[in-house]
Copies of this chain bind each other. A is one copy, B any other.
């Protein structure tokens, strides 16, 4: 299947998961959150990787949906923690229903993710579940590090990279490896497609950090400077705080500690400091390094199939995306 076909295949089957289940108070919010959409990149990765290694889409479908349900579970609980009212333009569960519903429905989604994983062939369950459990644990650890970083101003770029590796990259990588394991790929190939996922996951996040500051509002879809306003520890800010001269650092800290600064002024000033220090160039270089790592890992995979080129194209689109 082509990527677009895979995406519709995922979408169609995802919508069937939660129809007419009781009690409604538990399952309707889940159905709602899964219908909000999104790119379905993770389950698509499971299926595409599986296809690359010669797997059967029907055997990998439910674990692929499990990865997407897990991802959406993290969004439901993260949105409570972040007090986010909207997600993809629609009200979040704790707003549309209430917080108890968001907690419990999220819990049920996490369990459903495990249940979907468990539909794999029995002989593959131990390695599959070991991978999934490790991935899940790492995602929580990433989320906790991210929360810990909020109250710190001494986060190093390498700590930041470790955090986003856990919070973001391992799930993309894990999705790819799930597809590989279920297709019976060799351990080496499964590890290589995992590393491709880590590389593009990290590159993706740095790109996101860059777009938040240097992006085009119309294309990016979010307001520019959101990260700057809430002092988010991004690749840009952690690099700036670590490498800046004393004067620039003091200026940055002044803006970070300012109470009720004028938003436009703060964004302009901090962006100016970043540019003056060459932080944009440093971020682009790091992004390129991760991109190269992803492509190198991909090229070392022992199979020769068209999906390899598809993965290379995905990486390229990611690096040069404007939104």
Interfacial residues of chain A within 240-286, with CB under 8 A of chain B in the complex: none
CA distance A130 to B114 in the complex (A): 10
Instruction: Give how many copies assemble into the complex.
Output: 2
Q: How large is the interface on A (under 10, 10 to 19, 20 to 34, 35 or more residues)?
A: 35 or more
A26's partner among B80, B107, B140 (CB-CB below 8 A) is B140
* B-contacting 9-mer, from A3-11, A118-126, A196-204, A288-296: A118-126
Complex interface: chain B residues within 8 A of A110 (CB): 107, 110-111
Interfacial residues of chain A within 98-125, with CB under 8 A of chain B in the complex: 99-100, 103-104, 106-108, 110-112, 114-115, 118, 122-123, 125
Complex interface: chain B residues within 8 A of A118 (CB): 126, 129-130, 133
Q: Given A125-B126, A141-B26, A145-B23, A77–B133 Cβ distance below 8 Å?
A: no
Complex interface: chain B residues within 8 A of A80 (CB): 99-100, 103
Q: Given A77-B103, A111-B140, A118-B130, A25–B125 Cβ distance below 8 Å?
A: no
A137 within 8 A of B: yes
A148 within 8 A of B: yes
CA distance A85 to B245 in the complex (A): 48
Q: A81-B99, A104-B140 are in contact. List 16 more A-B contacts (CB 8 A).
A: A23-B148, A25-B147, A77-B104, A80-B99, A81-B100, A81-B103, A103-B103, A104-B143, A104-B144, A111-B136, A111-B140, A114-B133, A118-B126, A118-B133, A122-B126, A125-B125
> Which A positions have Cβ atoms within 8 angstroms of B?
22-23, 25-26, 77, 80-81, 99-100, 103-104, 106-108, 110-112, 114-115, 118, 122-123, 125-126, 129-130, 133, 136-137, 140-141, 143-145, 147-148
